[in-house]
Amino acid sequence: MAATDKKRIAMVHYHLRRGGVTRVIESARDVLVADGDEVVILSGEPPLPGARQEGVRVIPALNYRRSGSTVVAESLAEEMKKEAVAALGGPPDLWHFHNPTLAKNVLLPSVVRELAAQGERIVLQIHDFSEDGRPGNYTTQRSFFDSQANFEETLYPTAKQIHYATINRRDHDFLRAAGIAASNLHVIPNAIPDLAVRATPEERPFSKGKLFAFYPTRGIRRKNIGEILLLALIYGDRVDFATSMRPENPEWQETHDEWGRLAQELDLPVTLGLADGDEYPFLDLLGWSDFIVTTSIAEGFGLAFLEPWIAGKPVMGRDLPEITRDFEANGIHMGNLYRRIDVPVDWLEEKELADAVESMLRRSYLAYDSPLPRNAVKQTLKAWISKGRIDFGVLSEPFQMRILRKLKNDPALLDKISIPPLALYPAREIAERRELIRRVYSLENYAKRLEEVYGRVLLSPVGKVGHLATRKVLAQFLNPARLNLLRNG
């Protein structure tokens, strides 16, 4: 069919629970339907109560799944085709899978390969990678197959009719380096929705006479909660800090609660999980804040850097250049961010640090059944340490806690660390930034980009199905210089 014709699209995901991927799917459905296309969403679960139900077909076998067989995968592929035809009134012109390689359902890579072998045109949109700090997912997917060869040949299928899409340029470059053809590789940035924030800082019932900094996050390890305590130690005379939610994982809750106890011990103006109860609604906390803070050491699209501006709130915190370079390329300059918070490395015992790094590296490489590179510990420490100083954000909780206690006991030592910037923006600059983000990441631009990608896929010829070497993808992520005690330790 011509790329300009109205299309029948089948979107596929494990579920439609609240989260970034579900929001992307719903945005795509809305813009495509508005353009006259037919869309069905195939999900392993029904939408949540209150969410839109139309256009969704539930196939339970699509939900999270850790076992099965290739025969079951072939049966699932046929069931998906049957449901799609019933919903669309004919075969899909294009299949759009979300996170099929994440190994949340071990059948999905085989399903994709089966459909591709039948000549179906396919978009595989990768939001997250099992190679990026999720070894359990990776191992589960590998164990599904009878041999390493089948794993290699199935996880990342390639063909002229298979196109890959990422949500940022970093992931695009990683897949390109791993061998995906440039003609079959695209970036589809997320759209940024408006937020119905009406509360103002003047109305908040706390932090009178001080600024209030809000970190809208669930306090899992990679969100780097210890650094919020460090910022509170530095700026606590002027700023109260709070995070929104506790982790759901019981193991992470234990670490999160340790941070809460340390904040009390050191008398720091930090409240963790302020939105967990019914007293303070999330959107009110957002509106009450003077600015938003982020200390995360890893993000996907980087919504945390953009969405607050839509609510009229400037963002300060840790820069993630791999992610924010996309924003800079669109003229959205990320001021008020820092790359590192350097502390003297001699505050840490040299052998203890080296041992912790070696242990982290061995566990990380073993988890992916990969040999540890020569001089891996030296490579890692070289990336972390500069001129006798180490970034606070690469350290695990015990090291971070030790540094916080040291600084609290001797405030004069604050002169020895790099103090991150804290500068509020005038209302005019906030309004300008908000409008720029709205324009660049509008639904209209998202729809235009999505249609461009679909057009290329639909014009692609059908060819033989091959595969990408899984080790080449893994090598982009499993790199000593990219690992981190806080995330990988």
pLDDT digits (tens, 9 = 90+) for 209-256: 999 999 999 999 999 999 999 999 999 999 999 999 999 888 889 999
Name residue 108's amino acid: L
In the chain, the percentage of residues whose pLDDT exceeds 90 is 87
CATH topology match: 8-190+442-471 vs 192-340+418-441: yes
Residues 286 and 243 sit within 8 Å (Cβ to Cβ): no
**What pLDDT score does 230 carry?**
98
Average pLDDT, the chain: 94
pLDDT digits (tens, 9 = 90+) for 300-330: 999 999 999 999 999 999 999 999 999 999 9
pLDDT in tens, the chain (489 residues): 544 579 999 999 999 988 889 999 999 999 999 999 999 999 999 998 878 888 999 999 999 999 888 899 999 999 999 999 999 999 999 999 999 999 999 999 999 999 999 999 999 999 999 999 899 999 999 998 877 668 988 999 999 999 999 999 999 999 999 999 999 999 999 999 888 899 999 999 999 999 999 999 999 999 999 999 999 999 999 999 999 999 988 888 999 999 999 999 999 999 999 999 889 999 999 999 999 999 999 999 999 999 999 999 999 999 999 999 999 999 999 888 999 999 999 999 999 999 999 999 999 999 999 999 999 999 999 999 999 999 999 999 999 999 999 999 999 999 999 999 888 899 999 999 999 999 999 999 999 999 999 999 999 999 999 999 999 999 999 998 889 999 886
Which CATH code is given to the segment(s) 8-190+442-471?
Answer: 3.40.50.2000
CA 85/CA 94 separation, integer angstroms: 12
Specify the pairing of strand 56-58 against strand 38-43: parallel
Residues 454 and 3 sit within 8 Å (Cβ to Cβ): yes
Q: Write down the pTM of the prediction.
A: 0.93
SS3 at position 138: helix
Residues 334 and 458 sit within 8 Å (Cβ to Cβ): no
CA-based nearest residue to 363, from 133, 130, 141, 102: 133
Count CA atoms closer than 13 A to 428's CA, side-chain side.
0
Which CATH code is given to the segment(s) 192-340+418-441?
Answer: 3.40.50.2000
pLDDT digits (tens, 9 = 90+) for 325-364: 999 999 999 888 999 999 999 999 999 999 999 999 999 9
Q: Where are the domains of the chain?
A: 8-190+442-471, 192-340+418-441, 342-417
Beta bridge partners, 97, equal 12, 124
